[in-house]
Amino acid sequence: MSMKVLSIFSQVVSLLKFIPLISVIFLYHDGQCQQYTGIIGEHPFGTGVYGNSQDGWGVLGKSISLTGVRGESSTFYGVFGVSIYNIGTKGSSQSSYGLCGESIGYHAARFVGNKGLGYADIILGASSISNTGDNGVIRSDPDVSGSDIFLEGNDAVVARIDRNNNGVGNFFVTGQNGATLFRVYHNGTTTSFGGFVQNSDRNRKERIEDLTYNEVLESVKEMPIYEWQYKGQDRRHIGPMAQDFHKAFGLGEDDTTIAAIDADGVALAAIKAQQEIIGSQQEQINRQALELLNQQDEIKTLKRELDQIKSLITSRLLKKMID
């Protein structure tokens, strides 16, 4: 070790007398380690490695073939880095994990940014501003076939697209061989490359009530239908206004949205009402057709009787003329 590093090491050792929760071992050679860990911190009760800086690195460790910074703790943070103006903890690697956190009894890692100033907890950054193809990627362990990813929030889980408002942001869900299964465009248009399934299990429902289908049909007849387009879009649509739909049926969360399951239900109820009308009209048509057949039979009978009378009169007239 150089004299400078030895001096730093001795100062840290003396400092540990007053800070019993932190222990640090430096294995430096010319400012970095070639074959061993740059910094190892172990403590059974406190923080393994703690770094605090106002202008520079909170913790910086380098190693060619092993761990740059390694911190272990039985009951607290393994590595804890804090910086006011720069990076609290940074890890980089050419052939393995840049930063790795493992925990047996608690969360493996915790990142907290200043949301009040608009800073994120985690940023997956590109290597340069101009490198638009350098995407941030989160994925499960590629070596574990059953490894999943879970996103959990105490309240909302939000995915924001087109943050820079350039009109090209999209949200994709891809499947096998990268095929797109689900896509949300920056303007809100949603495309599903498969069936959209809504849960309609009777066992999940309550307050089930019968409907008078004709009342639904009358409401549909009175509800105006327009051709329109969303503001800022050129694509045309046909459908009702959410306010009219809510007024007619009182369904949904509010009067600015229409749930597909409600629109489908209204359409099915209206169809059933029309089917009832069509069925009733068909019964009437069948009755009228039967009456018409009966009338036709009566006409045929009357025609035969008339023909018989004509024949009888004709034969009598002939007989009388002969006599």
Taking only the tens of pLDDT, the chain with its 323 residues reads: 444 444 444 454 444 444 444 444 444 433 344 444 556 666 666 667 777 777 766 777 776 677 777 777 777 777 777 777 777 777 777 777 777 777 777 777 877 777 788 777 887 766 655 555 556 778 887 788 778 888 888 888 888 888 777 777 888 888 888 888 988 888 888 888 888 888 999 999 999 999 999 999 999 999 999 999 999 888 899 999 999 999 999 998 899 999 999 999 999 999 999 999 999 999 999 999 999 999 999 999 999 999 999 988 988 888 888 87
Give the per-residue pLDDT at 298: 94
Nearest one of 107, 106, 71, 66 to 88, comparing CA atoms = 71
CA distance 256 to 248: 13
Give the per-residue pLDDT at 21: 42
Give the per-residue pLDDT at 25: 44
Q: SS3 of 137, please?
A: coil
Give the per-residue pLDDT at 14: 46
Residue 300 exposed, middle or buried by CB count within 10 Å (0-12, 13-18, 19+): exposed
Nearest one of 29, 24, 33 to 52, comparing CA atoms = 24
> Among all chains, which residue has been given the structure tokens 């949205």?
257
CA distance 8 to 14: 10
pTM for this prediction: 0.56
H-only helix segments in the chain: 3-16, 213-222, 242-249, 260-322
CA 89 from centroid of its chain's CA atoms: 32
CA distance 144 to 282: 64
Domain edges within the chain: 1-123, 137-197, 211-322
Give the per-residue pLDDT at 137: 77
Helix 242-249, helix 260-322: angle, nearest 10: 70
